[in-house]
Amino acid sequence: MIPERLLDTHCHVSAYDDPVAVLGAAEQAGIAVVAITEDPDEYRRLKTRLGRREYVDVAIGLHPLRATTFGPNELARFFRLLPQSTWIGEVGLDFSRAGAGTARAQQKVFDIVLAEASRGHHPLSVHSRGAEKEVIRKLADAEAPAVLHWYTGPLTLVNEAVASGLYFSFNIAMTRSRKFPSLIQAVPRDRVLLETDGPFAKVQGRAAHPHELNDVATALAQAWGMNLGETTRTIIANQNRFLAQS
């Protein structure tokens, strides 16, 4: 991947009507994309559909809200396909109302992934809704290069995450939330990365797209009191530093 581009570190490319068009628009806009998947089958299908693309990395994932469907076959498939993939994602834990009932299955899957991730070869994009404390602790123990995607947890855990070497990826919906001003002050500038979480994250009711990633950078520039050029250079330096860990 060419590092001089802004990188969308979390985009559910398969969930758009036309993934190829979405990635074409991103490439034209000078944006590189980590195409997140939720299970090994989605990973394999998307890899086949997209072929090799200079500015796209397909990440292999085991989404926490699908944990009860991941038996020995899916886990074996995950580990068989993992050497082809640079990124791991989406993985993590979700103890919100949506995931509380499957917490134990999620922990089992996430622990298996982290045992592998602790070798440090794969950067991770991690979901932590309602389970921030546990996710941060597990990532710290694994010493894995990881990004907390769409962090909505308490500000009091940010320092611990930073001390554990974690990064935070911001999307357009986050920059418009009430929590944003305090979160962006709490996270050091050198730990900030970008994401769309498209098409699930929305801008005025419309799905966010990776070719609009500059809008996130613009919101960060405003929050930081910097111009867009400086902000872009800061984020690209963060991307390079983050990816150099794996």
By CB atoms closer than 10 A (0-12, 13-18, 19+), residue 85 is: buried
Length of the chain counted residue by residue = 246
- Closest contact distance (angstroms) between CB of 227 and Zn ion is 30
Closest CB 216 distance from Zn ion, rounded Å: 15
CA 241, CA 124: separation in Å to the nearest integer? Answer: 14
Distance CA 233, CA 84 (A): 29
Of 42 and 90, which has the nearer Cβ to Zn ion?
A: 90
Residues that bind Zn ion (CB under 5 A): 90
36/221 with CB nearer Zn ion: 36
Taking the least distance from each CB to Zn ion, the nearer of 90 and 94 is 90
Least Å distance, CB 9 to Zn ion, is 11
Rounded-to-integer distance, Cα 178 and Cα 152, Å: 11
Q: Which helix (H) or strand (E) holds 243?
A: helix 228-244
Q: Which of 129, 144, 123, 120 is nearest to 63 (CA)?
A: 129
For residues 240 and 3, is the Cβ–Cβ distance under 8 A?
Answer: yes
* Minimal distance, residue 124 CB to Zn ion, in Å: 13
> In terms of CB distance, is 11 or 219 closer to Zn ion?
11
User: Quick one: 27 or 90, whose CB is closer to Zn ion?
Assistant: 90
Please give the residue whose beta carbon sits closest to Zn ion in the complex.
90
State which amino acid sits at residue 70: F
Residue 62: CB minimum distance to Zn ion, A: 12
